[in-house]
Chain A
């Protein structure tokens, strides 16, 4: 009897905490959605649910003559997609070599990767800027893609190598008996079995450039070449002045699709990070 009362109190308290967390999590989201429907440029004197809601900010964003927003969206998706494809190819090749071959320099190579993945590659941003400047790659998407891909190699190689290590080597050996060459084993035996980790690496290498701000900010100069992170930042600071409601609409248009994508792929994220944590 006493036990069940304690239980009820405990559950009530839990629900109160949950309610409180809901408020904290959802309030910013509702506020920004509300702001995006607000007429005018600033929010002064408005309420969270605007009485005269308008879609004009969304229309403005979709109007290529008035805003580069669609371009930024396209740039970001393009950069992320190419980075993802390049990284997956390079990471698979490197991880397979590290996992299956014992060669001179292997141990040192792994050590180097381990240390490199700890230093964020934007720590060397002066160098990246100078290098891009010298090679004429400043203000190009190619420079960004190369930097993102290079930066993705160490950590993701480690992640994938850990997974490949768990695929039994007997499979390789029996294929070798049947006369398969190294490349064939890689392509037809190991890669199909590594699909789960390829999915994880693809996700990571897609989302990292998407959320990066600092490198894009340093390397990109012209407005038409911006990525979403840089563009959105410019909308509320600097040259565009205070266009907070327009920014709000832009933020909503990024947050919703990405959140939906993320929630549907969430289990891959968790499994990938757990693997990276225990094996890295």
Chain B
């Protein structure tokens, strides 16, 4: 830096930068009048429009209200997040102003003419075009995706529940107490770990079964000599084609203990007619895994069928010459190629089932109830969060569990994407 500075006889860039502490002045100094006025007006209107929101918002964010008759803690929290977002937007405009003054000053130091208004306009249209195109989508994303995430993060540090709930009461910041409680208080700890254990078993059990069945059927259908290929494949795809919520509700009826066909018709044939599918947690779990296998295998089947058709037949012919058995061909050729090709899809299948709310909730509402814990016997983390929010109004705890769940998902996601090629290729990013 020192060397470079000597090359310049003037020091416009530093002066412009310093003057830009008040946005616009640096641009005036650089004799870019219009740009300076735009910055000045932007700053002024920002302060006029948002000073109240920012002051009130930050006050609310820190205190969450002091008097329950006037202050609604959750409203204050929402306004606080709004104030944070607006402040960040303002700061980024401010940074843009500083950067611009510095850049133009540097051009002057290098004895270049600053851009004319016309050129600036063209720069704005050219360089600003991607921002312009992304603004609508980005705004929506901020309000319906990023905003809720911030809200949940903040909520997990509050005591918002049935007893601390506006308008009658205030909500307070309690630091990490929710997280500590989940691991300290016996009923929470036991529930959390039993739900987590079942979530893991569910994710691995159901997903692996559906993948295994899908691959098996695809390989089987790929052998020569099977007739009616098209009809059979169409039937195999059917469970995917019917909306999942319809199938799950139908299964809930089929497994019903009084009128369900599983007990009354099918199992009755074998002399077993009274299995408590919906009232015994173990049987509900078995039923859920079978249902998810039924729902999920066609997707894998379709994917693997596509891959199999692209495996060159020479590989198998060479294996035949060497006298390989069917099992050897499957284990040495088919399986590695298939798994390699569909690996990213498989991982998304696991994360999907990890958060598969629909099947758990629609089949039996997460039930049956189990003594000694405040989640149902088949609740997975996401459905537990739902029932904590909707039926027992434990918002703070639910938010804390959401955070834990998100951390797990993000960790898996990052691990996955570091392995995929697209992440490393410069042009893809």
Contacts and interface: CB of A to CB of B under 8 A. Distances in A.
A26 interface: yes
Contacts of B389: 125-126, 129
Given A90-B140, A213-B362, A48 B148 contact: no
Interface size class of A (residues with CB under 8 A): 35 or more
Interface size class of B (residues with CB under 8 A): 35 or more
Nearest to A11: B225
A120 B355 contact: yes
A131 B386 CA distance: 17
B428 A279 contact: yes
Contact of B133 (A32, A96, A244, A269): A96
Given A101-B129, A134-B75, A124 B152 contact: yes
The secondary structure that dominates the B interface is: helix
B245 A211 contact: yes
B344 interface: yes
Interface in B264-306: 265, 294, 299, 302-303, 306
Interface in A88-108: 90-91, 93-94, 96-98, 100-101, 103, 106-107
A259 B250 CA distance: 15
Interface in A12-36: 14-15, 17-18, 21-22, 24-26, 28-29, 31-32, 35
Nearest to B357: A214
B78 A131 contact: yes
B235 interface: yes
A62 interface: no
B238 A97 contact: no
Contacts of A70: none
Nearest to B135: A93
A149 B155 CA distance: 24
A14 to B, nearest CB: 5
Interface string B237-261: 1111111111101111110001101
Contact of B251 (A10, A28, A103): A28
Contacts of B244: 211
A240 interface: no
Contacts of A247: 249, 253
Contact of A31 (B137, B261, B410): B261
A21 B152 contact: no
B409 A118 contact: yes
B235 A25 contact: yes
Contact of B358 (A42, A121, A214, A244): A214
Interface in A236-280: 236-237, 244, 247-248, 251, 254-255, 258-259, 262-263, 266, 269-270, 273-274, 277-280
B386 A125 contact: yes
Given A90-B136, A114-B417, A128-B148, A28 B355 contact: no
Contacts of A262: 240-241
9 contacts: A17-B220, A25-B294, A44-B259, A116-B145, A123-B385, A134-B78, A150-B143, A232-B249, A236-B252
Interface of B: 74-75, 78, 125-127, 129-131, 133-134, 136-138, 140-141, 143-149, 151-152, 155, 217, 220, 223, 225-226, 232, 234-247, 249-254, 258-259, 261, 265, 294, 299, 302-303, 306, 326, 342, 344-345, 348, 351, 355, 357-358, 361-362, 365, 382, 385-386, 389-390, 395, 398-399, 402, 405-406, 409-410, 412-414, 417, 420, 422, 427-429
Interface of A: 7, 10-11, 14-15, 17-18, 21-22, 24-26, 28-29, 31-32, 35, 42-44, 48, 90-91, 93-94, 96-98, 100-101, 103, 106-107, 109-110, 114-116, 118-131, 134, 146-147, 149-151, 153-154, 157, 162, 165, 182, 186, 210-211, 213-214, 218, 229, 232-233, 236-237, 244, 247-248, 251, 254-255, 258-259, 262-263, 266, 269-270, 273-274, 277-280
